Amino acid sequence: MAIFGEKSEEKKRANELRNSIKSLKKRLMDAGMDKTSANKNVKELQEAIEEGARLNSGYQKAYASLERANRTIERLLEGMGLCGEEEIVRNIAQFTRDLHQVTHVCLLREDDADFISTRSYMESISRDSLRQPGALLMLRSELENLRAVFADAMGWQAPEFFALAYYLLHGPKEALGELENEQRNQMIANYLRDNFLLYFYKFCEQAGVKEEVTELIQDYIYGAVILQGP
């Protein structure tokens, strides 16, 4: 029943967004934007809003998994010398499930070779493997490394998801992987400003809808989720 209710709410919000976009296009044209530009701009606006909402939802889920995995690391490290192999293997099994949920373009990237290698190692752990010489020491080392990586990721500032969505839809995606968190956030904000907002908001101001559009973006992207993380 809850899933049905969530789907109904999503459909309602999607319909409301389409109606808002349709009304916005008319008002922009009334303010002097030609029809071709109006169609192009409101289409890009709607696509970026919808993608921004998906990115934000994915971020919330990934961040929650990151926090849960981090708590598991603490339990494993604290109990390493106190519990048997079977209990460690059970905890690792839950841990690896969470490791498949923590990746996101704004957190740990799915194409991070070191992270993938660590995850594969965790998936290979068994009761027999833990009985090999040095196995527990190696496991502890990997967990401590992951704890440090997770601590960094949980300290990163989340991006403006509308800007990120617009960039992923229109910008060179390969550049994102080369940047630190703050650099990425600044780059996508600049890209959105230079390639969309400077022109689009000029007509929004003429039409008297700039504040309304800003609220539409924020409400749709953030309204359906409870923000988590930094």
DSSP annotation of 194: I
Residues 154-169: tens digit of each pLDDT: 888 899 999 999 999 9
Question: What is the predicted pLDDT for the residue at 113?
Answer: 82
Cα gap 112→115, rounded to integer Å: 5
Q: Over range 19-37, report the average pLDDT.
A: 93
Cα gap 128→29, rounded to integer Å: 70
Q: Over range 15-40, report the average pLDDT.
A: 93
State the pLDDT confidence band at 229, using cuts at 50, 70 and 90.
very low
| pLDDT, mean over the chain | 87
Largest alpha-carbon pair distance within the chain? Answer: 76
Cα gap 21→43, rounded to integer Å: 8
Q: Which of 41-45, 94-98, 201-205, 221-225 is least confident?
A: 221-225
Question: What is the predicted pLDDT for the residue at 88?
Answer: 85
Residues 45-97: tens digit of each pLDDT: 999 999 999 999 999 999 999 999 999 888 888 877 677 778 888 888 888 88
State the pLDDT confidence band at 191, using cuts at 50, 70 and 90.
very high
CA nearest to 109, candidates 49, 173, 171: 173
Token pair for residue 20?
């808002």
DSSP annotation of 133: T
